[in-house]
Amino acid sequence: MPAKRTTIKDVAKKANVSIRTVSNVINNRDDQMRPGTKSRVERAIKDLGYQVNRSARALKTGKTKVLGLAMPDFDQPFIGFLVNAFDEAARRRGYATVSSLFGFSNERRRDFADSIPRINADGWAYLFEEPIHPDSPLFQQNVPLILISDYSSAGMYDIITMPNTESSQYLTNTLFDQGSSSIAFIGAPESLYDKSAADSDKLKYLIMNATDGNGTLRLKGYVLAHLQHGKEIPWNQVIPTKHMTSFSGVTATYNLLKNKVLPDSIVCVNDAVAMGVISTLIRNGFSIPEQIRVCGFDNIPESEISVPPLTTINFHIDQYAQLAVDALVSRINGNLEPANTFTSGFNLIERESTRIFS
């Protein structure tokens, strides 16, 4: 015979509390509960192996206690890092998570949009790496949505973002203040060059007036730091990439090495690009940081074990993910306030790839 399923009544009996008290613990309604009572219930749940019957709860409440997280693909190490942080943040709020991909083509996005009712999450967080038209089928949904993105939602949805410009300006200023005299930037968006047709004045205008896109905004911080220090912007050392990957960093580094005069420091648009840059420089006989210092953004786990360990901007991924979960849960719970923008903090983590400054 199959084993008898543990019920909430069994948990209440073992913990010597009411069924309502167990329900409050399960549903995170335990703010006013004595710590000892909560601990006793949690221990009983663990000892008995109790699991919430989510199907029954969804039928009763109309909610599944599941949050969806969707993104175009997994080509960035940062995305896996974020998925883990989002799941942990959701569990702290009593939610499970499901992740899915919506790709880059219109057909793929329509397929994903059609699947959302079947997945049956209470709400979705979309991670965008490019602007998405408001009429996209991704937005034609009957569940709450928020965006994890550096692109505007035109006031339609809450946005979780990073201080891209401020952090990049801080990083570049730090390099100048600690003795660097020539700083390159690898990872400028190719689209900027399509619009400016290699006209440096127009390129500068586009960058200074940019309001979205993490690559453009990080480049903006780099430009602002040069202006702050009265430095000419070395446009021949601002290298565009099509993607923000390690392979793009390799290609961009070879393009940088074509210059007769090389920089003593390189700001990379993210850690993935920086690792491609470091690998290529070392293969070409350069010593890091003695000849060229390299730094990035995101503080992905691999940045700490790269060779040498990478100096990087840490965007507090746990806070970033928690902001996303809290905003989405708030909308699920009926928050009808106008759309907000929530921005994480940052700090600079200095490691061996620039430690010559110390």
- Stretch 22-34: mean pLDDT: 78
Instruction: Give φ, ψ of 127 to 5 degrees.
Output: -95, 115
pLDDT of residue 187: 96
d(C-alpha 192, C-alpha 130), whole Å: 14
List the one residue out of 345, 337, 340, 338 whose CA is nearest residue 159.
Answer: 340
Model confidence at 138, pLDDT cuts 50, 70, 90, reads confident
pLDDT digits (tens, 9 = 90+) for 55-85: 455 544 557 899 999 999 888 889 999 999 9
Distance of CA 327 to the CA centre of its chain: 15
CA angle 138, 60, 21 (to 5 degrees): 115
In whole angstroms, give the CA distance from residue 42 to residue 22.
9
My answer on whether omega of the bond before 308 falls inside 30° of 0, hence cis, is yes
293: left (phi over 0), alpha (psi -120 to 50) or beta: beta
pLDDT at 36 over 70: yes
Share of the chain above pLDDT 70, in %: 93
Q: Among residues of the chain, what percentage have pLDDT more than 90?
A: 63
Virtual CA dihedral for 132, 137, 139, 140, nearest 10 degrees?
A: 160
Residue type, 355: R
Quote the tokens at residue 40. 């006793």
For residues 59 and 293, give the distance between their C-alpha atoms in angstroms, rounded to a whole number. 58
Q: Note whether 273 and 249 are within 8 A (CB).
A: yes
H helix or E strand, kind and range, residue 72: none
Which tens digits make up the pLDDT trace of 293-333? 999 999 999 999 999 999 999 999 999 999 999 999 999 99
| Whole-angstrom distance, CA of residue 98 vs CA of residue 130 | 22
Show the domains of the chain with their CATH numbers. Answer: 1-46 (1.10.260.40), 64-162+317-343 (3.40.50.2300), 164-314 (3.40.50.2300)
pLDDT at 1: 37
Of 108, 150, 107, the closest CA to residue 126 belongs to 150
